[in-house]
Amino acid sequence: MTRRGSLVYYLASWICGGLFLTIAMYIREQVSPEGMGMGPSGAGVAIITTYFLVLVFCAFLSVVFAFLLRLSMRWLRAEKLWEWILAGVILAMPMTWGVRWASRATDTAGLQGGAREVAVFLFLGVRGIAEQHPFLGLPAAGLTAVVLFLIHRPFAEKADQ
């Protein structure tokens, strides 16, 4: 798993992607008159609390994002940074729509108990962002794609040799 840097690649997607999304949420909180409802008014506490929650609830989606990004970049034979950034932003849009669709389908189906808890862990934890602020994740996806490109490139070169 570490020969192609997969462990580092997916962990970076989770950790860095979560950080970038948290920073985007914090900036939105500070700039927007209605805010995002991040919680405590102190900057440090709000960021740390939100970052923890983002790490918990975005783990699955960040790994899916990283997997689909790497798969599509390999299929397209993309080797430039701008291609990865563009693909990351483009990939974030259908993932956001997918979360919105899945949350509505979950409500319609009336999931209860363990099935509801699994759904919350997998995708409903970011439901508020997907429904209220669908474009908030685009810069975070672009920045995450930069980090993933910088990790993928040395391992891809090493595998080619």
Cα gap 101→97, rounded to integer Å: 6
Q: With bands split at pLDDT 50, 70 and 90, how would you rate the model's confidence at 8?
A: very high
Give residue for tokens 């599509």: 72
Cα gap 79→138, rounded to integer Å: 21
Summarize pLDDT for 132-155 with one digit per residue, the tens. 888 989 999 999 999 999 999 888
The C-alpha torsion from 43 through 45 and 59 to 36, rounded to 10°, is: -50
Q: With bands split at pLDDT 50, 70 and 90, how would you rate the model's confidence at 29?
A: confident
* Cα within 13 Å of Cα(82), Cβ side: 0
Give the chain's mean pLDDT: 85
Q: With bands split at pLDDT 50, 70 and 90, how would you rate the model's confidence at 35?
A: low
Of residues 111 and 82, more confidence is placed in 82
